[in-house]
């Protein structure tokens, strides 16, 4: 991880921007703030960022629209800020590619912990315990290839498939444990590093998103739902 990861905070509340800017800088993070989508785009044109903290409720283009826009052109990690009770919007945000969410009001220390967890997964997911640790660094399944060094997924026809941090971590967990049932709690720990609520649908959303990317043929069913237990990756995996 870079010694000073660059965090972009997008929130229309100046007090929140200033508070997070001061707090995160005190913890060795470079911080840029933006109050809306226009300023966010300007910041991104000025140089790369390592993670975006994105508020849901913004003037002009809201956080959901901006999240969709970001995902169409980048895999930069996104943590979405939502108001308490906006469960539907949180789920939609995850479906659009956000890596995590936090409800307002929140403790800045919790946000810092989430940021560090996502950054850690971004840089070290290739060395996770769920990943087999012998042999080559390229895994093949159903003519797909996953390069654990480059963090690249290629389809059977060789096309590069963009994955978010959460999707990549989830796929690594599955291909590292084929034909083995993985519980939702385990997958939540792998992909989001936070305590799971009994009603948290985040992992189901992540799995659904991953399925849409790798199960491109109607007869394909690589990730099977095991009712009351979790999920199982059904296809053989070969390490090259």
- The domains located in the chain, with CATH, are 6-125 (3.40.50.2300), 128-239 (1.10.10.10)
* pLDDT for res 2: 46
Q: What sections of the chain are H helices per DSSP?
A: 14-26, 37-45, 63-73, 87-96, 108-124, 165-175, 184-192, 202-214
How many angstroms separate the CA atoms of 191 and 173, rounded? 9
| pLDDT single digits (tens) 56-93 | 989 999 988 999 888 877 778 899 998 766 667 667 77
What six digits make up the tokens of 137? 């660094």
Angle at 212 between CA 178 and CA 64, to 5 degrees: 125
Distance CA 99, CA 135 (A): 30
Which residue from 141, 184, 146, 186 is spatially nearest to 168, judged by alpha carbons? 146
* Per-residue pLDDT in tens (0 to 9) along the chain, 240 residues: 446 899 999 999 999 999 999 999 999 899 999 999 999 999 999 988 999 999 998 999 998 899 988 887 777 889 999 876 666 766 777 777 788 888 888 899 999 998 988 887 765 444 433 444 434 588 999 999 998 878 889 999 999 998 887 788 889 889 988 888 888 777 877 665 444 444 456 788 888 889 999 998 777 789 999 888 889 999 999 888
User: What is the pLDDT at residue 73?
Assistant: 79
Q: What is the pLDDT of residue 3?
A: 64
SS3 153: strand
């Amino acid at each position: 991880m870079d010694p000073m990861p660059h965090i972009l905070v997008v929130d229309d509340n100046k007090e929140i921007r200033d508070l997070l800017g001061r707090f995160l800088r005190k913890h060795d993070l470079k911080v840029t703030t933006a109050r809306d989508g226009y300023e966010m785009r300007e910041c991104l044109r000025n140089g790369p960022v390592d993670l975006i903290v994105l508020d849901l409720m913004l003037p002009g283009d809201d956080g959901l629209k901006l999240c969709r826009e970001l995902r169409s052109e980048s895999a930069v990690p996104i943590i979405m800020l939502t108001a308490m009770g906006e469960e539907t919007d949180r789920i939609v945000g995850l479906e659009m590619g956000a890596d995590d969410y936090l409800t307002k009001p929140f403790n800045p220390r919790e946000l810092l912990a989430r940021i560090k967890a996502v950054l850690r997964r971004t840089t070290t997911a290739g060395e996770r315990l769920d990943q087999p640790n012998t042999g080559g660094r390229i895994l093949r399944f159903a003519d797909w290839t996953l390069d654990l060094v480059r963090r690249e997924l290629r389809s059977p026809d060789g096309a590069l498939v963009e994955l978010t941090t959460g999707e990549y971590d989830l796929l690594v967990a599955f291909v590292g444990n084929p034909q083995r049932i993985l519980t939702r709690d385990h997958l939540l720990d792998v992909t989001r590093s936070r305590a799971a609520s009994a009603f948290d649908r985040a992992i189901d959303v992540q799995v659904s998103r991953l399925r849409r990317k790798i199960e491109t043929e109607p007869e394909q069913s690589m990730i099977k739902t095991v009712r009351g237990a979790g999920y199982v990756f059904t296809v053989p995996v070969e390490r090259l």
